[in-house]
């Protein structure tokens, strides 16, 4: 089997792409202007228009097909005793090179844009425990308020009455409201769908993901409904170009909070509380326990139900998946890996302080 020159050129292009990406990573202002606010909105809108109307997840089928091809490649390689090994590896590397190129062109370069805090003109600095506690107390008040407004009883757990697809449509109105104050967070051309791999996501501990090759937001349709609004808004934040998990969480909080629907508002403060109380626990366990006592019993039931729900799916492979994702995040300018999710607290404190809510 002769070497295919096209395959060889594409394979050699892979390390060149890696080097170019390292150069691009050092120029966030350039990425912000010419990619994230330049060609990316057009690219992302194109894919959401093309695939958004399809009632099922095309991206999941694409991933399943890719996995099938990869397994078939390995089986055939072993079956034929590694015959023509070099040409086949070059062919495989060429395919990988194309996927790598598409990933960063279609979405991935957003990892290297300027921080959202700069975009929103937040003067971020190391926050104090006092600031964190003050914001958390405010969040608890709002969380208790919406829980009681929904249930009329502070001991009852909130039950979200909506179907998943209803919430996908409702989530866009939150972004519409958000755009009035934050025009840079504009969302158009919805493409949010139930993931065909929801059961698999339960076992790897994920609530959703964005397929960067199709622009579809894939939501795990098995997760508890009380967290569904923020999960949906989070994945939509990825679609409009906020790749970093902490930033997508914050934008997801804003979009759910700006929604007129009370269940979305409850979900927004529920998520914010989860991150803030986690940070307080790291700093002062006693303060954390005292703050938990001020949370309505119905809210505590909600958190406990969610915890018990996810415990059903704990398995030996989940930590391995998380380690892999941790490495992926670190490779894409999120030095703290999965811990970068917790830095949404920085943005929450900046938001509440700048909005004069506290």
Given the DSSP bridges, would you call strands 208-211 and 192-194 parallel, antiparallel or unpaired? unpaired
Residue 315 pLDDT level (bands cut at 50, 70, 90): confident
The burial of 220, by beta-carbon neighbours within 10 Å (0-12 exposed, 13-18 middle, 19 or more buried), is given as buried
**C-beta neighbour count of 34 within 10 angstroms:** 13
**Residue 105 in this model has a pLDDT that exceeds 70:** yes
Q: How many CA atoms lie within 13 A of 159 on its CB side?
A: 6
Q: What CA–CA distances, in Å, run from 7 to 2, 12, 193, 301? A: 11, 9, 35, 57
> What does the mean pLDDT of the chain come to?
91
CB 94 within 8 A of CB 11: yes
- Give the pLDDT mean for 336-346: 64
Contacts of 117 (CB under 8 A, 6+ apart): 124, 346, 347, 350
- What are the residue ranges of helices labelled H in 107-227? 116-119, 129-151, 164-181, 198-204
Given the DSSP bridges, would you call strands 216-219 and 208-211 parallel, antiparallel or unpaired? antiparallel
Q: What is the pLDDT of residues 215-253, one digit of tens each?
A: 999 999 999 999 999 999 999 999 999 999 999 999 999
- Give the pLDDT mean for 257-261: 97
The burial of 121, by beta-carbon neighbours within 10 Å (0-12 exposed, 13-18 middle, 19 or more buried), is given as exposed
**Residue 317 in this model has a pLDDT that exceeds 70:** yes
| Per-residue confidence (pLDDT) for residue 325, from 0 to 100 | 63
Q: What is the pLDDT of residues 1-31, one digit of tens each?
A: 567 889 999 999 999 999 999 999 999 999 9
| Per-residue confidence (pLDDT) for residue 340, from 0 to 100 | 47
CB 12 within 8 A of CB 93: no
pTM value? 0.92
| Per-residue confidence (pLDDT) for residue 333, from 0 to 100 | 64
| Per-residue confidence (pLDDT) for residue 338, from 0 to 100 | 46
| Per-residue confidence (pLDDT) for residue 136, from 0 to 100 | 97
Residue 205 pLDDT level (bands cut at 50, 70, 90): confident
Give the tokens for residue 264: 């979305």
């Amino acid at each position: 089997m002769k070497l295919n020159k096209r395959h060889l050129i594409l394979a050699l292009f892979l390390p060149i792409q890696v080097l170019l990406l390292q150069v691009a990573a050092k120029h966030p202002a350039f990425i912000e202007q010419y990619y994230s606010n330049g060609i990316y909105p057009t690219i992302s809108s194109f894919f959401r228009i093309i695939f958004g109307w399809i009632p099922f997840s095309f991206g999941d089928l694409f991933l399943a097909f890719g996995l099938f091809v990869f397994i078939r490649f390995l089986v055939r390689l072993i079956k034929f005793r590694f015959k023509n090994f070099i040409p086949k590896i070059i062919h495989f590397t060429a395919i990988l090179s194309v996927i790598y190129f598409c990933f960063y062109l279609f979405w991935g370069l957003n990892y290297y844009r300027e921080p959202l805090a700069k975009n929103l003109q937040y003067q971020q600095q190391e926050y104090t425990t006092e600031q964190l506690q003050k914001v958390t107390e405010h969040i608890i008040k709002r969380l208790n308020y919406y829980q009681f407004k929904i249930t009329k009883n502070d001991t009852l757990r909130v039950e979200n009455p909506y179907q998943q697809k209803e919430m996908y449509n409702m989530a866009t109105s939150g972004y519409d409201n958000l755009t009035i104050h934050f025009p840079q967070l504009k969302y158009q051309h919805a493409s949010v769908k139930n993931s065909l791999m929801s059961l698999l996501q339960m076992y790897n501990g994920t609530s959703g993901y964005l397929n960067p090759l199709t622009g579809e937001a894939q939501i795990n349709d098995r997760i508890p409904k009380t967290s569904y609004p923020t999960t949906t808004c989070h994945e939509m934040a990825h679609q409009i170009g906020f790749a970093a998990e902490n930033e997508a969480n914050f934008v997801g909080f804003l979009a759910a909070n700006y929604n007129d629907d009370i269940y979305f508002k409850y979900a927004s403060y529920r998520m914010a509380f989860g991150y803030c109380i986690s940070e307080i626990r790291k700093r002062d366990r006693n303060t954390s326990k005292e703050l938990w006592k001020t949370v309505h019993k119905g809210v505590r039931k909600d958190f406990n139900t969610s915890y018990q729900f996810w415990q059903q799916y704990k398995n030996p492979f989940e930590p391995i998946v998380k380690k892999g994702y941790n490495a992926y995040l670190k490779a894409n300018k999120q030095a703290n890996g999965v811990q970068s999710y917790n830095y949404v607290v920085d943005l929450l404190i900046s938001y509440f302080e700048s909005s004069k809510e506290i």
